[in-house]
Amino acid sequence: MSAPLLIVNAKTYQSSQGHGALELARIMDSLNSRGARLVLAVSAFDLSVVAAAVENIEVWTQHLDPIGFGSNTGRLHPGTAIERGALGTLINHAENKVDLSHVAELLTIIDHRIGVCACAADLDEASALATLSPDYVAIEPPELIGGDISVTTADPTIVSGTVELVRSVNPSVKVLCGAGVNSGADVACAIELGAAGVLLASAVTMASDPAQVLNNLLSQL
């Protein structure tokens, strides 16, 4: 069985940008991961600096565009991200939605060189994304994102139902659980429900003691 995946999304919180992103990365890098794969998804501005500063965690970017070299002002080039140390990317997060064609084209360009986690708001979107064969589909009901109640508590069948559906559509795609995850019990429940790991943000990035929160998140693995 693969090690559980724990992705911390830095978003654009003040506490996890610039020097804050670097500090958080170093905290994560120093932890005993208990066999989990730890990922920090950072702003494109922070990617190269953070990737160069760590050894034990993966650094991902939060978004990429399906473009080649050329006239693409303001867009994020996959090859440049990989060159700057990205080992994966999020795509279609609830805060940065894209068309399915965007995801499909991006996956073609990346061609399995780095990991891709595509975010879904519901079962229909999870099913559609699974047909495109990203490495992961993260189920994140938008109404629970950034809240104190985990999807595993609010409605565990959302997680188990997504796992079952995605497996039936594309057995090679793994499911992550997102939205409101904030404790080791939430992580353990997600794994028990069939998820391969979790995607979270504010529970870590807004914490007064991120190391304590991360240790708690890993405590029941």
Predicted local distance difference test score (pLDDT) of residue 89: 98
pLDDT-derived band at 17 (thresholds 50, 70, 90) equals very high
Residues pairing with 42 in the sheet: 61
H/E stretch holding 80: helix 78-83
**pLDDT higher than 70, residue 147:** no
**pLDDT higher than 70, residue 59:** yes
Predicted local distance difference test score (pLDDT) of residue 144: 67
Share of the chain above pLDDT 90, in %: 85
Residues in the chain: 221
**pLDDT higher than 80, residue 50:** yes
Three-state SS for 220? coil
Say how far apart CA 58 and CA 8 lie, in whole Å. Answer: 10
**pLDDT higher than 90, residue 10:** yes
Packed helices 123-130 and 156-169: angle between N→C axes, nearest 10 degrees:
30
Say how far apart CA 45 and CA 70 lie, in whole Å. Answer: 20
Tokens of 185: 């019990």
**pLDDT higher than 80, residue 146:** no
Q: Mean of the pLDDT values across residues 185-202? A: 93
Predicted local distance difference test score (pLDDT) of residue 34: 78
Q: What is the pLDDT of residues 95-130, one digit of tens each?
A: 999 999 999 999 999 999 999 999 999 999 999 999
pTM of the model: 0.95
Catalytic positions: 93, 140
Domains located in the chain, CATH noted: 5-218 (3.20.20.70)
